[in-house]
Each structure stands twice: as structure tokens, then as C-alpha cells.
């Protein structure tokens, strides 16, 4: 079962996007694999203190993207293969990296300075709660 233990809501970003992001990051991290069972909409919404429809929106998009499969009355499961996995991974990494690079560049930092900053702050990231 996919875990949402370390999921923290940030504000300013649509919640359904944060759910999508969390799942996609889990896929890239290898924590989420093919055929994994997803928590039901009701359970997850209760767990995160959200409305079921918000979770439903995230799940619907995942299904539109072919990453999960769900049928009325049945649980929902991850549907991953090499191609999808690669696609998710590439998109996610590219977006995160380019966003950061762009911001650093815009602030006038050099490549080396940016990389140093990233390494310096690495250990300050809030660890698992």
C-alpha cells in the first residue's frame, strides 16, 4: 500500500497537484512499484484531512495519464511499465532541475555556486517526521 506518511501540505499550490507530485516522486524513488494498491479515495481523504473530491481529482488525472487503473467497486492499482516509469522520471527530474537552475541563474549564481549551495543545504531538509 502506497504510503503518505511523509506527506506535508504546502499552501499556494493546489492540493491535488501535491498529491500527484507525491505519488510521482514515490514512483521515481522506487518506493511505488507496479501493481501497488492505492488507498481508497475515502481513506486517503480522511488521512490527509481533505475532501474526497480533491483526492478523486488527483486519482482521475493519474488514470488519464495511464499510471493507475480503477474500476467501480474495486480498489485502485498502479499500472507502471518501463516506458511510463521512464516518462515520469524524466519529466519530474527535468522540471525540478530546470526550475532550480533557472532560479539560481537568474540570481546571478554560477554553476559551481549553485551546486555548492545545494550540497550545503542538503542535510537541512526536514527529515522524515
Residues that bind its own copies (CB under 8 A): 6, 12, 14, 17, 22, 25-26, 28-31, 51, 64, 73, 89, 92-94, 96-108, 111-112, 114-122, 124-126
CB atoms within 10 A of CB 50: 17
User: Using CA atoms, how far apart are residues 42 and 51, in angstroms rounded to an integer?
Assistant: 8
Does 40 help bind DNA (rule: CB under 7 A)? Answer: yes
CB atoms within 10 A of CB 47: 13
Does 1 help bind DNA (rule: CB under 7 A)? Answer: no
| Contact mark string toward DNA, 69..108, x via CB under 7 A | -xxxxxxx--------------------------------
Amino acid at each position: 500500500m502506497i504510503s503518505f506518511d511523509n506527506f506535508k501540505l504546502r499552501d499556494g499550490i493546489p492540493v491535488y497537484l501535491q498529491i500527484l507530485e507525491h505519488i510521482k516522486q514515490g514512483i521515481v524513488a522506487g518506493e511505488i512499484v507496479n501493481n501497488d494498491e492505492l488507498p481508497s479515495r475515502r481513506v486517503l481523504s480522511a488521512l490527509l484531512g481533505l475532501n474526497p473530491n480533491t483526492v478523486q481529482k488527483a486519482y482521475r488525472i493519474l488514470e488519464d495519464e495511464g499510471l493507475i487503473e480503477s474500476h467501480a467497486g474495486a480498489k485502485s492499482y498502479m499500472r507502471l511499465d518501463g516506458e511510463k516509469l521512464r516518462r515520469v522520471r524524466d519529466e519530474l527530474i527535468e522540471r525540478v532541475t530546470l526550475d532550480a537552475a533557472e532560479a539560481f541563474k537568474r540570481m546571478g549564481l554560477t554553476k559551481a555556486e549553485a551546486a555548492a549551495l545545494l550540497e550545503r543545504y542538503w542535510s537541512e531538509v526536514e527529515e522524515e517526521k
